[in-house]
Each structure stands twice: as C-alpha cells, then as structure tokens.
Structure 1
Amino acid sequence: MICHDRVNLGGWALRLCGVFVAAVLCLLPWTGTASAHGSVVDPASRNYGCWLRWGDDFQNPAMAQEDPMCWQAWQADPNAMWNWNGLYRNGSGGNFPAAVPDGQLCSGGRTESGRYNSLDTVGAWKTTDITGDFTVKLYDQASHGADYFQVYVTRQGFDPATEALTWGDLQLVAETGSYGPSQDYEIPVSTSGLSGRHVVYTIWQASHMDQTYFLCSDVNFT
C-alpha cells in the first residue's frame, strides 16, 4: 500500500519497493509453517539441504552451475525450500506404496498440491559423506513424537543420478519403536557392502495423527 500511495516516488524507488515486497512475500510461507513440522537434518533431506546452502542467496545465478538440482528446485517452487519442514501426507493408513507411487517417493506422492514435485527430479543432487554406520538426525519443531521411524537405503547398483527412485530400489536398514514428544531424534543405522552414491529414505510416522513424512537424503558412502 505504501508503494502505491507515495505517487511522488521515482521509477527506481518503485522498483526497489517492489523487490522488497516480493522478498517479504517469499519469506511468509516459511515463517507461517516453521513451527509446525520437521525434517531429516543430517544427512540433510533434499529441500532442507537446498535451504541451508541457498536460503539467504536463492536468486544467485551461480547456483545453476554450482548446485543445479537445487537450482531447478528453487525455480520450480521456492516454497519447497521455505517449507522444508512440511513434506508429509495425511491419512496414508500405513499403505505407503499406494499413497506414494514409484517415481514420486521424494515428493511424498506429489503431496501439498505438488509443492515438492521438483524433489523427484533425477540428477546429481549434492551428497553428504557417510560411513556404513551412521545416524539419521531428525528435527521436529512441533514435538509431534513418532509412532516409528523406518530408514531405507537404495540397493547397491542403483544410480540416483540417472534413475527414478522406486520402492523396489529400497532396502530397510532400520526400524524403530515409538518416540515421545521431542524436537531432536536420532536413529542409529548399520549397513554393510555399500559404496558410492545412494539415497537414504526416511519414513517418519508422527504420533499426533496419521501424518507421515517421506524424506530423501542424498549420501555418498565413503
């Protein structure tokens, strides 16, 4: 409103005001949902990693060369990153393959009206180096608690840089019992015989309702 009322502003000032308003609007979705949900923070989920690396510089054209998978995600829908903690589906009833089809695992079956679709894009996502024994760390801002966690790792030979992720590509490597309300959870994982690029796929069944999070983390087993 201020931009329109100050009719004596020059063209450059109007443009500056427009940029400021656009920046504020970009931030609003994140601030509106940040206290509601959570995600895997180590090894970082795809959209959380993009937010960490580029959240304060998301319009930098250098991202296209330095981090092309994040670049395409930011171009497709910045709210996938501002809302890094909202990638969930309600009412799956434990039948996850029915709710989340092959090729759509990283977007939670194109949940939230397709906000996270770009996370299914096949390509060389930035990876986190891990060893055969590692810990999945999840941040739960709302302290929902968990009925359980399931952690999967892609089979040896699967190449996430060139192949779409399917349920048949996943191996269950950890399954937990319930966790009480907290903000920080750790799930120890032990694997063997894995090397190179993989996807760690974490399913978090929240306790407060039938709400399930489907989270892809790109890793490199060293």
Structure 2
Amino acid sequence: MSFPVKKKLLGKAVATLAAVGGLMASLLTGVADAHGSTVDPPSRNYGCWQRWGSDFQNPTMAQQDPMCWQAWQADTTAMWNWNGLYREGVAGNHQGVIPNGQLCSAGHTGGTRYAALDKPGAWKAAAKSRQFTLDVWDQARHGADYLRVYVTKQGYDATTTALGWNHLDLVASTGRYAPSDHYRVAVDAGSRTGRHVVYVIWQASHLDQSFYFCSDVVFQ
C-alpha cells in the first residue's frame, strides 16, 4: 500500500475517532448537567432523542420523523441536552421573557441551540385521553416551586403556526414538590379534540431556573 493511501486512511480513522469522541463528550456532558424534561407526553427534543438517539444519522428519519430530522440537522446538542432547556433569573415573568413564536425553545435559550423546536410542522404526537397524568422527570432532583400546565386552544394548528402565549389556556397549576425523580400532575383538557400542544413550565427550587417544554398530543 502506498504512503499517500495509508495517510488518507489514517486521516479517515482519526476523523472517525474524533466524531465518536465528540459524541461521547456530548453524552457525558448531558449526564453531568442533567436536569429534566416532560417525558409523558414526551417533550419535542426528549421524544427525538428517545426515538433516534442511538440512530441519529439514519437518513430514513427524514421521511419517518421529518420534524426530528430538521431538529437533528440544525443542532445535535439540542437533542443530547434534552434535559437542559431552561432559563435562569426569569423571576416568574415567563410571558415577559419568552416571546411569542419561541415558547418551545424558551426564547432561543442557549443561543439558537433549541430554535428548531419552535418550527411548525407535523411533530410526532402522543395519543392521550382528555384526562391524563403528566410526568416530569427530574434527573437532578431539584424539586419544584410549581408546575404550570397549558394546553392549546381548540383550532390552533401546530403544523402551520409557531406557538404563542395567546394560543394557550392554563389548565393546571401546582404547589411545591419536594425533590424527587418524577413530578406528576393530573390534567383535564376539557372538550378539546385532535392535535394540540401541552406546554409545561417547571420552576425548579434549587435556583431561579425555569424549564419550558412543548409536548405534542392528539386527544382521542
């Protein structure tokens, strides 16, 4: 084998190892900085990570799960860091800090890392009854000052319109939760039918950290 060929193969091997190393670093960072997310119904980036985290370069995602595909292409770290979508120092002024059209990215927290989550489209939606129990997974056991659960108004179309505060109704608001792995909330979506977005604010107790989650559902 000639030296140029060997050099080319060595370069490919180094590039592959670098990519694997970067992926492992992202995974380890996600674990080290673990916070949490809505897992039932799954938030957009948690769902994308759950379905494709072990196969995120598979081109069939583009046809089978196009909204996840565009999110993975935009910024893979948004999926690896599905548990870190939060803002600090909001002081309860959620509507003042998070602009309409950017609710799912928490106002593009982390620069544009999570911006793809705001994109309207046919996100995979979990089938739910109109009375269901929402589950927030707190990996770091931060505790919660409160959870607020909103559901989109009947007639809102998540496939064409980015989510705004004007599209939401508050359907559940809780008190404090002691630090635990999971916080659950009974949700009544009323007479809603069809596709909707469930929007959750988790106010963590350890610091002024506010987490924001968009979960797509179909009420049956």
> Which TM bucket (shorter chain)?
over 0.9
Q: Which residue of 2 aligns with 1:199?
A: 197
- The one-letter code sitting in structure 2 at the alignment partner of 1:116 is Y
**Distance of 2:50 and 2:111 partners within structure 1:** 24
User: Alignment partner for residue 8 of structure 2, among 8, 11, 33?
Assistant: 11
> 1:108-127 alignment to 2 at 5 Å?
108-127=106-125
SS in 1 for 2:110: helix
**Distance of 1:16 and 1:221 partners within structure 2:** 49
**Distance of 1:86 and 1:9 partners within structure 2:** 42
**Distance of 2:63 and 2:20 partners within structure 1:** 23
Q: Which residue of 2 aligns with 1:150?
A: 148
Measure how far apart 1:23 and its partner are. 2.3
**TM-score, scaled to structure 1:** 0.93
Identity of aligned residues (%): 54
> 1:71-82 alignment to 2 at 5 Å?
71-82=69-80
Q: What 5-or-longer segments of structure 2 have no aligned partner? A: none
SS in 2 for 1:34: helix
Q: Does 1:29 align with 2:19?
A: no
Distance of aligned partners of 1:72 and 1:8 in 2 relative to their CA distance in 1, 3 Å threshold? closer
- The one-letter code sitting in structure 2 at the alignment partner of 1:32 is T
139-148 or 13-22, larger mean C-alpha shift: 13-22
**Distance of 2:15 and 2:145 partners within structure 1:** 46
User: Alignment partner for residue 135 of structure 1, among 130, 133, 136?
Assistant: 133
Measure how far apart 1:30 and its partner are. 3.0
Q: Which residue of 1 aligns with 2:181?
A: 183
- CA RMSD, aligned part only? 1.4
- The one-letter code sitting in structure 2 at the alignment partner of 1:29 is S
Measure how far apart 1:98 and its partner are. 1.4
Q: Does 1:20 align with 2:17?
A: yes
**Distance of 1:188 and 1:34 partners within structure 2:** 29
Q: Does 1:170 align with 2:182?
A: no
**TM-score, scaled to structure 2:** 0.94
Deviations 1:108-145 (A, max 9, x none): 00001221000001111000000011111111111000
SS in 2 for 1:111: coil
Contact 1:27 1:82 in 2 (8 A): no
> 1:27-66 alignment to 2 at 5 Å?
27-35=24-32, 36-66=34-64
Measure how far apart 1:13 and its partner are. 4.3
**Distance of 2:29 and 2:10 partners within structure 1:** 29
**Distance of 1:120 and 1:62 partners within structure 2:** 22
**Distance of 2:27 and 2:111 partners within structure 1:** 16
Q: Which residue of 2 aligns with 1:3?
A: none
- The one-letter code sitting in structure 2 at the alignment partner of 1:80 is A
56-65 or 33-42, larger mean C-alpha shift: 33-42
SS in 1 for 2:203: strand
